[in-house]
Structure 1
């Protein structure tokens, strides 16, 4: 099992950023096909937030080269920023379910 895991990582590891970018673009391309009902919009929002958090984690793993103290502080700032954005997106998705407003949809898109 360990050999299989190493082989998969060796094969797909160098292409993980490209595949994440393709997944994000595909998510935005599929968005108009989902519709604007409350639950589908919320499920899409949650899936997109999870996808973006995975992408953020992959970027953080690659950036962990250099002086340890500076990297730990930088990693902490990035993690706080990422979770702040994820929380804001989750709150916006929940509001879309209960409050139907064009301004809220515009703010969520931005």
Structure 2
């Protein structure tokens, strides 16, 4: 769909509760759909699916921790440093920045669900 934007392809109110976008990471034409639904997902790495004979596949994927892209963490660090240079003496550790990023994503998930309802 050349020339189309996500606003053209996705209606404003969608009846999507869950989306599973399964793709091979080395497929040159595969795309992630999650950032189209929730923009904060552009900062989160895709979850790797394990093979059926792997013991990790028996656990729930919902319990897996979200991995934040390092570039996003660097952005949060630079924002923190700029706040610190402006007089704020609060320093946020990398662990807290990851938790902050997860909270932002969780809030956007909840907002997306509320919009669907």
| TM-score using structure 2 length | 0.33
Higher relative helix content: 1
| TM-score using structure 1 length | 0.35
